[in-house]
Structure 1
Amino acid sequence: MRLRFFTLLCLCCCWFVSSEGETVSCSNIVSSGFRSDNISIADFGGVGDGRTLNTKAFREAIYRIQRLTRVGGTLLYVPPGVYLTEPFNLTSHMTLYLAAGAVIMATQDSSNWPLIAPLPSYGRGRELPGGRYMSFMHGVGVQDVVITGENGTIDGQGDLWWNKWRQRSLQFTRPNLVEFVNCRDIIISNVIFKNSPFWNIHPVYSSNIVVRFVTILAPRDSPNTDGIDPDSSSNVCIEDSYISTGDDLVAVKSGWDEYGIAYGLPSSNITIRRVSGSSPFAGIAVGSETSGGVENVLAEHINLYKMGIGIHIKTNSGRGGFIKNITVSHVYIEEARKGIRISGDVGDHPDDKFDPNALPLVKGVTIKNVWGVKVLQAGLIQGVKNSPFTDICLYDINLRGVTEPRTPPWKCSDVSGFAHQVSPWPCSELSSNQQGSCANYS
């Protein structure tokens, strides 16, 4: 049935942790009210038969939204059906609304996939030198954009890309499913993201981003299919979502080695809560690309199953940048190779121009209220020589092994901090006397 009238009201709240450690409300970080103008993809010749190419329909509909600006913006309705299309750009003041049973499906014809310049904070494509393929849905410099609906699906049909990656036949970096570059006031909610060619949702150089009530799915063996990667972005809220992919579920980033250092835009004020999922890699990750810095991250009420690593904070010599004021709490982990890893030797380099003396600063990481079962190794904390990790605070952590009650011990080096009621007991480098920022724990 043709959509004649629709009212959308999204009022999203989140919280972040200030540099002083207190929880701060970022209530109403993004609000999108009534869209005064409503159109359907069918108005532009869209056909949801799974065979007809709808690129022209999507591009014309978005061109119409962009050129015929309406007060309050425009809602583009996608009715039930499977709408095959090539990549397309989003525009400001629009809502892309997927009805129940609606699928927007990426074509597998990569020959018509546009190439775009590398991100300046990466200096090249993340996988290969040179440019990169444009994301399936792409926004540059836009504001007030909502992607939502009745749990319709955005399907990247990533098999083609995964196979090319495995065969090493790609010349450029694979496309993300959705990317926002230099954007603000973005809401993504009540949508299923499926089979992304590369990372699923990638806000970069952006602010005021809310991702909530989404499902993100990809096979466990799909390469580099990160769920949500806030990158050199601020005021980001990720909540109430399920993610099961082939790589990190949520990974906070900020640029790569000398390029990220030069660009110098940190990720800050990131909240992740009530997220669950499964992956052969990490559940909650910071890094490894953190050259612009990452600060003020709160992750809480996380449920993880069949993981490679539950919580992973990762960087490397040559990264530079900083990771500070990170709080992870109330985490349940069931089946994992490692429960917690904080490592300074992870991740590759874009080229041989990186400065090996650009050492990262890791300071003020608090992990508390973590319960794990069937965890093969409780934890590993490996700082960087000549730049040890400091104020690493562990409280109320119980990580049980496969064969009760023994779990292999922690391994630690180049680290200082505090541990309280941690089982198995971590390592001698973590004192039982509160010190530094760990003394703020209550």
Structure 2
Amino acid sequence: MNKAVAIILSVPLFLLSGYTQAQQKGVKKPYSFDNLPVVAKTAFKKDTISILKYGAKNDGRSLNTLSINQAIVACSKKGGGVVVIPEGFWITGPVELKSNVNLHLKKNALLQFTSDFDQYPLVEGNWEGLPQMRNQSPIWANNQENIAITGYGIIDGAGEAWRMVKKEKLTESQWKKLIASGGVVAADKKSWYPSEQSYKASKMKHPGLISNEKDAAYYASIKDFLRPNMVVLNRCKRILLEGVTFQNSPAWNLHPLMSEDLVLRNVHVKNPWYAQNGDGIDIESCKNVLIEDSTFDVGDDGICIKSGRDEAGRKRGLPTENVIVRNSTVYHAHGGFVIGSEMSGGARNIFVSDCTFIGTDIGLRFKTARGRGGVVENIHARNINMKDIPGEAILFDMYYAAVDPVPLTGEKRDAPKVELLPVTAATPVFRKFYINNVVCDGAAKAVFIRGLPEMNISDIYLDNLTIKAKEGLDIQEAKNIRLSDIRLDVDNASPLVSIMNGNAIKLERLMYTNAGLLLDINGNRNSSISLSGTDTTKAKTPVEFGAGVASSVLSIEK
């Protein structure tokens, strides 16, 4: 064995993961793919109650809100069990889950939430990481333990009654049909809203934000706009979602919030691709989560990690941690697996493996912005397959601007202004990402890494990537970045690799078909950039240095 390798193998794992000897005491051994977090399981009594016992009617017209909730309450009071929704078409208003109850949908059961907004009272909730007034979620639970939604049926949130729609996301005939259905077209003719009330509120800044000067009459005047997330599980423990299809949500589809021990298995999550804020699952400030064998096809981010927004998220101070995502597929989505942008409480110990992203705007998407604060670290991803990615295969961006990741037709965007600002509690941190074994057949750009001048993205390790893309690697304001065994199929790339203000950037064994320019280095804050194990002769021009960049910042080794 090579002596250097032997030395590395003899170093304890906690040292390689950034723990000092002094920190070792009282600190749990860092998680790895060989030492994954443990998620506590649910367990239910076999006692069964049918909603038919409480007068539920399967006629596609009767409102069954009372019947379903009475069955759940009765089951919980008896110590728990299974509440069964039989085969059929069941209309309902909001359903509240209770401790020790498994809400079970039989095959061919459709639980359809009503589009009558009067059935959804206004309640204090949370929207995009901030305390806000919202309409009651179709399915919800607060401070409950040992709860589940299982079975084979479909849960439909009637999202079309709530959502605005962008014209650019529809065909001309679809747009005309939508306008003919009623609602209001925005003044710029680019968006449609379900009602005048919804349109009016859309022009306000954080209209649902809870504040002392707003009274009940104010919130009632914008009620139509305050779309609920479909399933909200707040401060709950031991949760199981299994087998069911969750679709057509008013806003986010699944939203576990400040909860612990969640298992999501063999679930289908669906929204129209044009569904505004139609995320698949947003895991916010949760601990111990397992997502496996599930499929997502949605209108916004597919599988997303969050932990609150800006000062409110930092004050909450609850990171999302100990998350396992495996053996799952994401079709249309803004991102296949995503962290951010509301990650102000932090995120850590995340493990994503053996997943496939087909047609997602971005594959692995990590986003934040100034003002968020929070630390995202110890993020692991491996064995990821991607196909037909319109944007970046892998993206790290600290300039998130709250827009769709891929510009719509005719949309023009300016690059963000780059300026050095002081580091404060509102400065976000991205560090310690480990990504390996990624194959992508088709992307606009292979890898994009963009940090802040005052807080570089750091400690990014990308190994064994095979990516076919229009553009190669773009690294900005980053330090301690290592890319090894990277195979890029980028036709006539110029440059193949772009570095702007990079420090300790290592490119090892970079393989490519051809390039007009292999490496382009710009900026006045570059140092310790190295290229090794790479054939530079296949590029027309191996290296170009921007104005003021000394050639000594780069070392090239065979």
TM-score bracket for the superposition, by shorter chain length: 0.7 to 0.9
Partner of 1:123: 130
Amino acid in the other structure paired with 1:144: N
Aligned counterpart, 2:187: none
Normalized against structure 2, the TM-score is what?
0.68
Deviation at 1:225? 1.0
- Given that residues 91 and 114 in structure 2 are in contact (C-alpha distance below 8 angstroms), is that contact kept between their aligned partners in structure 1? yes
Is the Cα contact below 8 Å between 1:244 and 1:278 reproduced in 2? yes
Question: After the TM superposition, which parts of structure 1 deviate over 6 Å for at least 4 consecutive aligned residues?
Answer: none
Structure 2: how far apart are the matches of 1:179 and 1:286? 19
Q: Distance in 2 between matches of 1:142 and 1:69?
A: 15
Alpha-carbon offset, residue 159 of structure 1: 0.4
Q: Which residue number in structure 2 is paired with residue 331 of structure 1?
A: 384
Q: Which position in structure 1 is the counterpart of 2:160? A: 159
> Per-residue deviation at 1:433?
6.8
Which deviations, in whole Å up to 9, do the C-alpha atoms of 1:51-82 show, x marking residues without a partner? Answer: 1110111121122224x323xx2210111001
Task: Identify the residue that residue 277 of structure 2 maps to in structure 1.
Answer: 224
Asked if the contact 2:237–2:259 (Cα under 8 Å) also holds between the matched residues in 1, the reply is: yes
Q: Is the 8 A contact 1:360 1:387 kept in 2?
A: yes
| Structure 2 residue 109 is matched with structure 1 residue 46 | no
Question: Deviations for 1:375-433, whole angstroms, at most 9, x for unmatched residues?
Answer: 121121101220101101110111103xxxxx312222111210101233655543137
Shift of 1:49: 1.6
Structure-1 separation of matches of 2:483 and 2:397: 18
Q: Distance in 2 between matches of 1:177 and 1:380?
A: 33
Match of 2:471 among 398, 401, 408: 408
**Contact 1:216 1:227 survives alignment (8 Å):** yes
Q: Deviations over 1:188-224 (max 9, x none)?
A: 0000111011111111110000001000111111111
Q: Secondary structure at the match of 2:334?
A: strand
Deviations 1:279-321, CA, capped at 9 Å, x for gaps: 2410000011000000000111111111210010011111000
Q: Does 1:346 align with 2:405?
A: no
1:389 corresponding residue in structure 2 = 457
Contact map agreement 2:289 2:322 (CA 8 A) in 1: yes
Hey, what does 2:440 align to over in structure 1?
Answer: 372
One-letter amino acid of the structure 2 residue matched with residue 152 of structure 1: G
| 3-state SS of 2:369 partner | coil
Q: 1:391 to 1:324 in 2, by over 3 A?
A: same
**1:121 and 1:263 in contact (8 A); partners too:** no
Aligned position for 1:313: 366
- Structure 2 counterpart of 1:3: none
Identity of aligned residues (%): 29
For 1:56, what is the secondary structure of its paired residue? Answer: helix
Letter in 2 for 1:255: G
Instruction: Give the superposition deviation at 1:162.
Output: 1.2
Stretch moving more, 45-54 or 256-265: 45-54
Partner of 1:208: 261
Query: Which amino acid in the other structure matches residue 52 of structure 1?
Result: S
Following the alignment from structure 2 to structure 1, what is the Cα–Cα distance between the partners of residues 86 and 32? 46
**1:264 and 2:339 matched:** no
Q: Which has the higher Rg, Structure 1 or Structure 2?
A: 2
Q: 1:411 to 1:95 in 2, by over 3 A?
A: same
Counterpart selection for 1:300 from 343, 349, 353: 353
Cα distance, 1:19 vs structure 2: 3.4
Secondary structure, aligned partner of 2:250: coil
Equivalence for 2:135: 133
For the residues of structure 2 that align with 1:399 and 1:348, how far apart are their CA atoms?
27
Give the match's secondary structure for 2:163: helix
More helix by share: 2
AA aligned opposite 1:360 = P
Q: Distance in 1 between matches of 2:296 and 2:103?
A: 21
Please say which of residues 319-328 and 53-62 is displaced more in the overlay: 53-62
Equivalent residue number for residue 145 of structure 1: 147
Contact map agreement 1:40 1:79 (CA 8 A) in 2 = yes
> Is the 1:318–1:356 Cα contact (8 Å) retained in structure 2?
no
Q: Which one of 97, 110, 120 corresponds to residue 117 of structure 2?
A: 110
Structure-to-structure mapping, 1:21-60, within 5 angstroms: 21=32, 23-27=34-38, 29-33=40-44, 35-60=45-70
Measure the CA separation in 2 of the matches of 1:201 and 1:373: 30
1:235 to 288, 295, 304: 288
Who is 1:85 aligned against?
92
d(CA) in 1 for partners of 2:149, 2:478: 43
- TM-score, normalization: structure 1? 0.85
Distance in 2, Cα, partners of 1:294 & 1:177:
24
Secondary structure of the residue that 1:162 maps to in structure 2?
Answer: coil
Q: Which residue of 1 aligns with 2:83?
A: 76
